[in-house]
């Protein structure tokens, strides 16, 4: 039990004193970058899906 309590204390100390947390402005900037990247990836996947759908429909019409 003592080892567990020491572990929890060490974890708390590390989170409070040793971890460098981003500022609110850095966090907002990162969130915007992730949102834009997600939208771009979603758009690329959508365009690939539609192009394959069109290609397969054309292929099935031939046969």
3-state SS of 20-56? Answer: CCCCHHHHHHHHHHHHHHHHHHHHHHHHHHHHHHHHH
Structurally, the chain folds into a number of domains equal to 1
Global model pTM greater than 0.85? no
Residue 41 lies in a domain: yes
Q: What is the pLDDT of residue 63?
A: 83
Q: Which residues, at least 6 apart from 30, have a Cβ–Cβ distance to it below 8 Å?
A: 22
Q: What is the pLDDT of residue 55?
A: 96
Burial of 50 (0-12, 13-18, 19+ CB in 10 A): exposed
Q: What is the pLDDT of residue 49?
A: 98
Q: Do 25 and 32 contact (CB within 8 A), yes or no?
A: no
What domain range includes position 63?
37-63
Q: What is the pLDDT of residue 13?
A: 94
Show pLDDT as tens, one digit a residue, over the chain (63 residues): 889 999 999 999 999 999 999 999 999 999 999 999 999 999 999 999 999 999 999 999 998
Residue 60 lies in a domain: yes
């Amino acid at each position: 039990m003592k080892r567990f309590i020491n572990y929890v204390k060490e974890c708390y100390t590390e989170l409070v004193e040793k971890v460098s947390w981003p500022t609110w402005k850095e966090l907002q900037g990162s969130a915007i970058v992730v949102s834009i990247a997600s939208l771009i990836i979603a758009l690329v996947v959508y365009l690939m899906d539609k192009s394959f759908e069109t290609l397969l429909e054309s292929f099935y019409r031939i046969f």
